Structures are given as C-alpha cells and as structure tokens.
Structure 1
Amino acid sequence: MEKKQYKKVVLAYSGGLDTSIIISWLKENYGCEVIAVAGDVGQADELEGLEAKALATGASKYYVADCKEEFVNDFIFPAVKANAMYEGKYLLGTSLARPIIAKKLVDIAKAEGADAICHGCTGKGNDQVRFELTIKAFAPDMDIIAPWRTWELKSREDEIEYAEARNIPLKINKETNYSKDKNLWHLSHEGLDLEDPQNEPMYDKILEMGVTPEQAPDTPTYMTLTFEKGEPVALNGEKMNGVDLILKLNELGGANGIGIIDMVENRLVGMKSRGVYETPGGTILYKAHGDLEEITLDKETQHFKQQVSLKLADILYNGQWYTPLTKALLAFIDETQKTVNGEIKLKLYKGNITNAGMSSPDTLYSEQTASFGEDEDYNQMDSQGFINLYGLPIKVKALLDQQRNK
C-alpha cells in the first residue's frame, strides 16, 4: 500500500535517542519539512544545544515552548491537591508532563499549517496514549505519525546504529542506554539492568536529583510549608511561585535522600514495567499536603476523597486529562481544598519525612474534645446509647442465630 505523504510535520523533539533520528527518518520516508518542537517542562541542561542539533540534522525550524508555569499550576498542583498517586507509589511525573507538551504541539502545528504531528514514543509504552489522546482532544482531524509502530528499527541498539551511520550525535552509547524522562517534577530511569526485578538498582550510578539515604547528612533538615486552598505558597515563611518552590524542595529533598522509588508498575498497554523514579520535592509536597488535610477535612469528605484520588490517578496515568470525567473530579477536588489552609513543619532525615507540627485557621481538631481530661462538650455516658444503636444489627443477628440453633 502506498504510504501517505505529508508536506509539513511537527515533531515532538527532546533530543533523546528516538527523536534524534526521527528527523532524518521522516525526511527519508516522507520527503517532508520537519519542524522540531521542544516543550520546556524543566529539563534544564537537556535543552542545551537542541536547536543547533535539530537544524543540523534536517529540521527547518525549531521551537522551544516554555511550559513550566502552566505545568506546575495546571497539572502538578491539581495532582498534589488530589493526592493522586498511581498504584500507591508513582507521583505521575511523566503522566503530568505529556498533555501540556502535546497541547503545545497542536498549537504550533495549527499555526504552521502542518498536516501531521509526530512523536517518538515506543509502541509498548504509555506516552503514545498520553500524546495522542491530547492531540485528538484539540485537533481531532490531525494525522499522527508514530515511527516506532512502522519503522524497521526494533531496538534502542538499532537506533544507535542508525544514528552512527548518519553521523547524528548522541549523548548516550550502548552501555549507558537507560531510558530516562526528566522534568522539574521528577526523573525516571528504565531499561538495562533495571529490566530484571532481581537486580538492585545501581543508585550510585543512576541518581541525578539527590543522594541515597545512606549518603544523606547525619543531622535532620527542618522546613515549614504554607498552604492556601491546598496549594503550597511559601517555604519557611518566604512566598514563592510554584516553579521556584518545587526546585528548592528538589534541592532540599535530594540532599536528604528523599523521594527515591523503585517499582514495578502496570502499564496501560497491559504489561508490567520496572523503573526507578526520583521525585524529591514532590514527595515532600504530597506528605505535607496529606497531613494538613488530616486536620482540615471532615471524616466523610476525607474518606471519599481517597476513593476519588485513586480513580483520578488512574485516568491521569492513562492520559485522559482532557475528558469530562477528569474535569468533574478536579472540580470536586477544588471544592474540598477550600479549607486546606495552614502551615506544616517537616523534618527530613535520611530518606524519611516526619511531621514536626502543623496548624490551620480551618482546623477541625479540638484539643478540648479530644483530651482524656474533663471537658464540657462530650458526655462519655452518651457513648453507651450510641454503641447500643450502632451495634443493634449485630445483637439482633446473634439473638436470632441463638434461637435458630436451639
């Protein structure tokens, strides 16, 4: 079957192994103009030299879209407010970043009059879904090119050989070929020795955002975080924007061995995948926010929100950001956060985070009511009637069972 031809293709460009060779591959296979687009979600030094590299390898244009503030305010903070955590461990580092990058791709593709968008996601991964669902939400008629599903290359080793044959510069080789994803929220590591769950990760070799707990200082670090409506707004009393706050928490958390996760997760496409995640600042924020909710949310809201958090984590992991369900669940989360205000002090020590005290103008904790001492707002004799009514079904069943068993 004759391959469909395109005149202009917008490529999600990271400068990593996949996208480094895709520009050449697109031009060889489609003869099209390729516009490289990098979404800046806090990769920092990974963006250095990308423009020169993209143009040198055949791109006609290069865009870098600054997504950092939008990434934090519209994706990271909603996830923090929801306490959304996939399978009890993963703080959604890659899942949170893909939709905003894909949205920027659509914006540029429309502005440039492109007839297709291309990404370098593997056909075995989750990112292909996250990119394409977002593209469908904002450009439902746009064609999508996914080389990993069609090209002759079958492995990352094949890709490296392809690049070497065309003198395409790479920052990796066959021995350092971990698959990584980096943004201001996290850094992930997959592949090589990590593919065997029997292998302990070589943390001294792979960690970039911090140190292991064993290498952390012997003295604890104390900090105070201030929240307004569930969002962190200040560190140690100093007002900070979201991007700067997360970067500072990454620094403090990383230095204390915080936020290193080794997990085998269930990918959306059906397989299990092992990875190591570094999320130092995010781990601190989740702990602080979750603890503050303990004194600012009533029991029924707190417990129901836990169910919502599980569902939200699943659909965000699965790339369903721009859906009616996500919009509705986030609206519920925002309603619960109106009273999540206050300060919490934390102690960081060798990979652990300990609550060192918290307060809120909207606290639901009453020391007088909870005290073991005398108080005027709780009559302990009232509990007898409560237990009698609460336990009535148990008592009735037991009495009837006795009668039936005589």
Structure 2
Amino acid sequence: MKKINKVILAYSGGLDTSIIISWLKETYGCEVIAVVGNVGQKAELEGLEEKAITSGASKIYIEDLTEEFVYDYVFPTIQAGAVYEGKYLLGTSFARPLIGKRMVEIAKAEGADAICHGCTGKGNDQVRFELAIKAFAPEMPIIAPWRIWDLKSREDEIAYAEERNIPIKINKDTNYSKDMNLWHLSHEGLDLEFPENEPDYAKILELSKTLEAAPDKATYITLSYEKGNPVAINGVKMGGVELIEELNKIGGENAIGTTDMVENRLVGMKSRGVYETPGGTILYSAHKDLEELCLDKETAHYKEMIALKFADIVYNGLWYTPLREALQAFVKTTQETVTGEVKLKLYKGNIVNAGMTSPYSLYSEEYATFGEDAVYDQKDSAGFINLFGLPLVVKAKMDAATKREAK
C-alpha cells in the first residue's frame, strides 16, 4: 500500500471508532477525518464533534442522511416484504451501504488516500461497508484495524482507551455491542452470547417497554398508504422520518417489535442478538395486510419468493447490484395499487388487524358471500375440480393397473 497521508474514518463515537483515530495516527502518521452518517441515531450524535477532535481527528463530517435512508432504502425494503430469516427487519443492513456511499463521496472531495471502518473480522458490517466502497471507488484502499491490530477483544479496546485517556461511555459491565438508527436498536454480547440465557429485557430495552410494563388497554391506530408507502397516521399526513419516529413511540409504548434471534451471519457463524424495531414492525404488518387486499394471488405468491432473495441481498451487503435494482423494479410495479387504510390494534407486543379498506380492493363480497348470490354458479366448480384433479386420476389408474400386472 502506498504511503497514507489522509484517511476517512466511518465514525460513530462508540468504542471501536473512539480508539481507531488514535491507532491510525500512531500506525500511519496520517491525518484522520471522521465521517458520521446520521441515519437517525439522535442522542448518540451529541458531543461527537468535540469528541472526534479531542481524540485526534482533524475534521468531522456529520451528514444528515435520514430522508435518503427512509425513502431510498427503508421503504423499498418494506415494499419488498424482505425479512431476514423470518425475524430480522434489516435495520443495520440497509444503513451501511448508504453510509459507505457517502464516505466515498467525502473521500473523493477530500483527496483521501484510504477509507477506514471499525468493523470486526467476524461480522457482517465489514462486508456491507467494503462492497459499498468497491461499488463507487473500486481502487480505494480500505483499512480494517480489527484485521491487523494486536487488540483481540472489547476488553482490550477498553484498556487501550483508558491508557490514552480516550473518553468512552461504556465499561466492562455495560459492554453490549449496539447499533442504533431511526429504524432500530440492536444489542449483542455479554450474557446474550449464551442462547440458554433469557434476555434481561428490563435492563436491555431502550426503545420499547417490556410486555409486563405495557398498558393493559389496547391502542388503535390507522395507517394510510399510497402506492406502498405509508403517508399518514390516524389521518394526519407526515413525512417518512416523522412517521417512523411517531410509530416508534406508539409501538415502544405497547411493547411491539422486540426480537430475540440466533441468526446466520454472512461469514458463516451464528450470532445471537436482541433487536428493537417497534415502528418498523408495525409498518411491515400493516403493509402486508394491505397487500392481501390489493394484490392478486399469483403476484402475491411470486412476491413472497422475491422477498426471501431481497432480504438475503440486503443482509449480505449487495445493495448496489443489478439484481437488487431489477428486483426493486418488479416490486415497485406491484405497489401501484397498494393504496388504502389499515386499522391496527396494538396490545402487549401483539399487532392485530382491525380492518382495512382500499379503492383497489380485490375482495368482492358479491363473490365471497356465504349468502345467496347471483354471480357465482356453484355447479361450475364440479368441472373445475375434474380438470384440476385430472393428473391425480390418471396416476391413480396407472398405479392400479401396475398392481394388477404385478399379480
């Protein structure tokens, strides 16, 4: 690698990136510019500018990416119905490519020699960041300290920080690995590394109440959608960022969207974590309900297969690929009629459909009624069943003939 004079660092102010500024300067004698991708982590942004400069950065960018995050990454993923391994709503996964893209833009503007991230060699985020960098700056050198430094654990990192008086907000007893953005909050490490342990939700949860602490009375809300995107809560129109923030409050109050999961990481191992996604869980549920009303059977069933692949693509950091673009184009077409309102009942972690309407509803009471109707001749079903079951009849006759011959 050529001599490195200036490095762009993906900076969060957490344990890893707090010590990396110092490590980069000690190792390469380079200037370090910190870049923070604001994707809605709010309180975690407080004091970052002072902290980065105090830690040795020459400059810090705090980029507001929340609108782009919601409309270009979150909403398309909801529309696809993409859920990784049936549980994970991809909160970290679709934030990393966006941040990676912005880092490349800043690196080019600053004339940087390399881009650095603080992801471990065991995790998924190293792949997500680096694939984004390769998509927009394929020749850009990438520095990943966890793959080359002598530190072996988060305990080593804490000791490194304490030796150099680098301010950190955690200690050995509160050393959960967390990732927060507008969409979710994840928790990994400590007692969660042992699947036999029940999570201490009263200690862990920050966005949501525990089931026990949630209200004993149900909360009703109505979500309005236009072409697959949520646009209003209880008739009040709002932008995507504000809408998710409001649903996080409502969902968190009712203990919605807490998931304890053992997932298959891209790098091959299993990991266990607790995810809080209150608003996102509500949005996924309402969107699926509305699709049940508005999509025809063949499209809905085929879209379920697309959802599995889309989730893998997002989880594996392959956002900037032709396949994701092609699948998203298909999904967008399916959303043309996903417009209407969904009423939900929220109660102690449960989301119950309480009614829905759409001008594009394919549900016809005229055909579906159990009462008398003038549009459906039930005698027609006999011929349908005879044709639909014809392969079974042919096989049954063949089997019978084969048995007779065997005798």
TM-score range, shorter-chain basis?
over 0.9
Partners of 1:145 and 1:377 in 2: CA distance: 68
Unmatched tracts of structure 2, length 5 or more: none
Matches within 5 A, 1:4-403: 4-403=2-401
Listed one character per residue, the Cα deviations across residues 341-384 of structure 1 (whole Å, up to 9, x for unaligned) are 00000000000000000000000000110001121221100000
The alpha carbon displacement at 1:66 in A equals: 0.3
Stretch of structure 1 that moved more, 373-382 or 343-352: 373-382
Match of 1:405, SS?
helix
Unmatched tracts of structure 1, length 5 or more: none
Match of 2:222, SS?
strand
Match of 1:141, SS?
coil
Which residue identity does 2:30 align to in structure 1?
A: C
Match of 1:161, SS?
helix
Listed one character per residue, the Cα deviations across residues 161-219 of structure 1 (whole Å, up to 9, x for unaligned) are 00000000000001100000000100000000000000000100010001111110010
Listed one character per residue, the Cα deviations across residues 122-167 of structure 1 (whole Å, up to 9, x for unaligned) are 0000000000000000111111000000000000000000000000
Match of 1:184, SS?
coil
The alpha carbon displacement at 1:405 in A equals: 1.0
Match of 2:378, SS?
coil
Which residue identity does 2:5 align to in structure 1?
A: K
Listed one character per residue, the Cα deviations across residues 13-44 of structure 1 (whole Å, up to 9, x for unaligned) are 00000000000000000000000010000110
Partners of 1:264 and 1:335 in 2: CA distance: 34
Which residue identity does 1:189 align to in structure 2?
A: H
Match of 1:201, SS?
coil
The percentage of aligned residue pairs carrying the same residue is 72
The alpha carbon displacement at 1:4 in A equals: 4.6
Partners of 1:377 and 1:232 in 2: CA distance: 35
Partners of 1:5 and 1:19 in 2: CA distance: 22
Listed one character per residue, the Cα deviations across residues 325-346 of structure 1 (whole Å, up to 9, x for unaligned) are 0000000000000000000000
Partners of 2:107 and 2:202 in 1: CA distance: 41
Partners of 1:44 and 1:30 in 2: CA distance: 32
Runs ≥4 residues deviating over 2 A: none
Partners of 1:137 and 1:108 in 2: CA distance: 15
Partners of 1:244 and 1:63 in 2: CA distance: 23
After superposition, the Cα gap between the structure-2 partners of 1:4 and 1:164, relative to the gap in structure 1 and judged at 3 Å, is farther
Partners of 1:108 and 1:176 in 2: CA distance: 33
Listed one character per residue, the Cα deviations across residues 64-102 of structure 1 (whole Å, up to 9, x for unaligned) are 000000000000000110110000000000001101111
The alpha carbon displacement at 1:106 in A equals: 0.6
Partners of 2:403 and 2:179 in 1: CA distance: 65
Match of 2:292, SS?
helix
The alpha carbon displacement at 1:54 in A equals: 0.5
Match of 2:355, SS?
strand
Over the aligned positions, Cα root-mean-square deviation in angstroms equals: 0.6
Which residue identity does 1:115 align to in structure 2?
A: D
Match of 1:107, SS?
helix
Partners of 1:28 and 1:139 in 2: CA distance: 26
Which residue identity does 2:225 align to in structure 1?
A: F
Partners of 1:391 and 1:24 in 2: CA distance: 72
Match of 1:223, SS?
strand
Which residue identity does 2:394 align to in structure 1?
A: V
The alpha carbon displacement at 1:5 in A equals: 2.6
Partners of 1:188 and 1:223 in 2: CA distance: 26
Normalised by the length of structure 1, the TM-score is 0.99
Partners of 2:220 and 2:238 in 1: CA distance: 18
Match of 2:26, SS?
helix
Which residue identity does 1:199 align to in structure 2?
A: N
The alpha carbon displacement at 1:401 in A equals: 1.3
Partners of 1:400 and 1:105 in 2: CA distance: 66
Which residue identity does 1:154 align to in structure 2?
A: K
Partners of 1:4 and 1:196 in 2: CA distance: 43
Listed one character per residue, the Cα deviations across residues 289-328 of structure 1 (whole Å, up to 9, x for unaligned) are 0010001000000000000000000010000000000000
Match of 1:353, SS?
strand
